[in-house]
């Protein structure tokens, strides 16, 4: 079975946020940093990463009262 990975822009699109917002969440340590490609240091996102961030996003929205 092939395990799919996603680019940062693709993850942002799936989450319905901008890439800048996703990167801000990473910098603020609101979401965990995914593992990185050893060759080019790009982030390697998995479906599990996305599911976790979707849960965190819901919690962040609840905290802000949205």
Domains of the chain listed by start with CATH number: 8-63 (1.10.1660.10)
Residue 38 is classified by DSSP as T
pLDDT for position 47: 97
Kindly report the number of other CB atoms within 10 A of residue 46's CB atom.
15
Q: Regarding predicted confidence, which is higher, 60 or 3?
A: 60
pLDDT interval class at 2 (50, 70, 90): low
Strands 43-44, 35-36: parallel, antiparallel or unpaired by DSSP?
Answer: antiparallel
pLDDT in tens, 4-41: 999 999 999 999 999 999 999 999 999 999 999 999 99
> Residues, the chain, total?
66
Return the bridge partners of 45, or none.
6
Nearest to 21 by CA among 33, 8, 34: 8
């Amino acid at each position: 079975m092939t395990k799919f990975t996603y680019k940062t822009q693709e993850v942002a699109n799936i989450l319905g946020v901008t890439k800048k917002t996703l990167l801000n969440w990473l910098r603020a340590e609101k979401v965990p940093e995914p593992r990185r490609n050893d060759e080019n240091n790009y982030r390697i996102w998995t479906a599990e990463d996305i599911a976790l961030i979707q849960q965190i996003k819901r919690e962040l929205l609840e905290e802000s009262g949205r």
